[in-house]
Amino acid sequence: MSDIQQYLDVLSGLDFKGMYNSDFLHTWDKTTDELKALYATAAALRNLRERNISSKIFDSGLAVSLFRDNSTRTRFSFSKASNLLGLELQDLDEKKSQIAHGETVRETATMISFMADVIGIRDDMYIGKGDAYMKEVSESVQQAYADGVLDHRPTLISLQSDSDHPTQSSADMLYLIKEFGGLENLKGKKVAVTWAYSPSYGKPLSCPQSLISLLPRFGMDVTLAHPEGYDLMPEVVERAKGYAAENGTSFKQVNTMAEAFEGADIVIPKSWAPYVGMEKRTNLYAEGDDAGIAALEKELLAQNATHQDWCSTTELMAKTANGQDTIFMHPLPADISGVSCEHGEVMADVFDMHRDGMYKEASYKPYAIAAMMFLQKVADPVATLKALEDAGTPRWYQA
């Protein structure tokens, strides 16, 4: 903690040139070296901040955010990351905007991009739509740059799409690296990524998907558990299997929480919507079929209600590798039985025991985002981090 040299040493041994001027839309777009560079950079930025050293690399500049779904944690994390590097946040509120009926994505993307350095987008509600939207924004700003309309290309960061939630899974990795004392110590750890009951419906699939497609790449054994009918997107499950095979780890699917918890070093139980139901919903929205949507909601809630036993209890925790001390993760907010609802994802006593851990997990998200920005905007991150360390400008000045 006395300096950032250890992180610079790690970075010096990695090939991550491809991140400069690129987007961060999915972890699976990135090489393992690039992800390792992300974790080392996030740790270095956190270290600088905790030692009150400024990591401002922008004297002025804008980070544009576009949230097509409500958000507190990610909104604040993006804002904090931007501020840490010297960018001012400018939120595009589609309701207050004169985005004309039929205005193309290409036009909106270009219009918000003059003088923008980074664009963060959350668009996670409709299967297939979030990824498509972000891809179109990315191509639009690339085109505008190529055409000489933009004098530089803002880079994109996905703040959650329908397929992946890379800022959340990166924060999760940073937390695990810290808890286990190093990335190499994650090898062979057993992780339960499991569905849990929630009295609400329609929670994004991208949370569990981001985990199963990332953890195997660092040697973790993943067990995915959900009731019948709660499948994830098939291509993401295939990707998870592929990563597991490549990295000599196991990827298993089971049908009960108990099986997944058995001997697990880390448990991550959270509700999500059935893929098939979400595809239906996407189509019904496209058709403007409100009655169909209402019927679907009723049906999905009834389907959920048959699985109220999918709740994390001390009994289930007792089955894990370290019993009640086993690491329990959740991106929050959780549905807590007896606190936020009658029956939820987790019992209040389990939540209370692991509250600090989950809050610490959340504390890494601003740094994960800041590291994405840093690696996208800085050609030589090692030299630049070193220069920040050497300058030692206090973030918070006191005589």
Task: Please state the closest distance from residue 130 (CB atom) to a second copy, in A.
Answer: 16
User: Cα(392)–Cα(399) distance, rounded to whole angstroms?
Assistant: 15
**Segment holding 109, helix H or strand E:** helix 105-111
Q: Find the binder of a second copy among 14, 105, 115, 258 (CB under 8 A).
A: 115
Piece of 29-37, 87-95, 244-252, 313-321 that binds a second copy (CB under 8 A)? 87-95
Q: Which residues of 323-341 are buried (b: 16+ CB within 10 A; e: fewer)?
A: eeebbbbbbeebbbbeeee
Q: Find the binder of a second copy among 104, 255, 306, 314 (CB under 8 A).
A: 104
Piece of 5-13, 113-121, 296-304, 309-317 that binds a second copy (CB under 8 A)? 113-121
Q: Is 96 in the site for a second copy (CB under 8 A)?
A: yes
**Under rule CB under 8 A, how many of the chain's residues touch a second copy?**
83
**Strand 221-225 versus strand 251-254 pairing type:** parallel
User: Cα(272)–Cα(394) distance, rounded to whole angstroms?
Assistant: 43
Residue 12 · residue 338 · CB < 8 Å: no
Q: Is 399 in the site for a second copy (CB under 8 A)?
A: yes
- Per-residue binding string, a second copy, 126-155, x by CB under 8 A, is ------------------x--xxxxx----
Q: How many CB atoms lie within 10 A of CB 350?
A: 24
Q: Find the binder of a second copy among 19, 65, 68, 117 (CB under 8 A).
A: 117
Q: Residue 66 or residue 237: which is nearer to a second copy going by CB?
A: 66
Residues 339-358 interacting with a second copy (rule: CB under 8 A):
339-341, 356
Task: Please state the closest distance from residue 355 (CB atom) to a second copy, in A.
Answer: 8
Q: Is 80 in the site for a second copy (CB under 8 A)?
A: yes
Rounded to a whole number of angstroms, the distance between the first and last alpha carbons of the chain is 23
Q: Find the binder of a second copy among 86, 128, 219, 242 (CB under 8 A).
A: 86
Distance of CA 195 to the CA centre of its chain: 17
Q: Is 360 in the site for a second copy (CB under 8 A)?
A: yes
Task: Please state the closest distance from residue 393 (CB atom) to a second copy, in A.
Answer: 6
Residue 372 · residue 346 · CB < 8 Å: no
Residues 202-231 interacting with a second copy (rule: CB under 8 A):
none
Q: Find the binder of a second copy among 7, 39, 67, 251 (CB under 8 A).
A: 67
User: Cα(391)–Cα(135) distance, rounded to whole angstroms?
Assistant: 38
Instruction: Report phi then psi at 122, rounded to 5.
Output: -110, 125
Q: Is 380 in the site for a second copy (CB under 8 A)?
A: yes
Q: Find the binder of a second copy among 6, 33, 75, 282 (CB under 8 A).
A: 75
Helix (H, G, I), strand (E, B) or coil at 270: coil
Piece of 74-82, 215-223, 281-289, 293-301 that binds a second copy (CB under 8 A)? 74-82
Widest pairwise Cα distance in the chain: 65
Q: Find the binder of a second copy among 2, 98, 234, 288 (CB under 8 A).
A: 98
Q: Which two tokens stand for residue 107?
A: 């036009």
Q: Is 333 in the site for a second copy (CB under 8 A)?
A: yes
Residue 138 · residue 110 · CB < 8 Å: no
Q: Residue 253 or residue 384: which is nearer to a second copy going by CB?
A: 384
Taken in order 70, 73, 76, 82, the sign of the CA dihedral is negative
Q: Find the binder of a second copy among 5, 97, 255, 314 (CB under 8 A).
A: 97
Q: How many CB atoms lie within 10 A of CB 348?
A: 13
Q: Residue 101 or residue 234: which is nearer to a second copy going by CB?
A: 101
Q: How many CB atoms lie within 10 A of CB 238?
A: 11
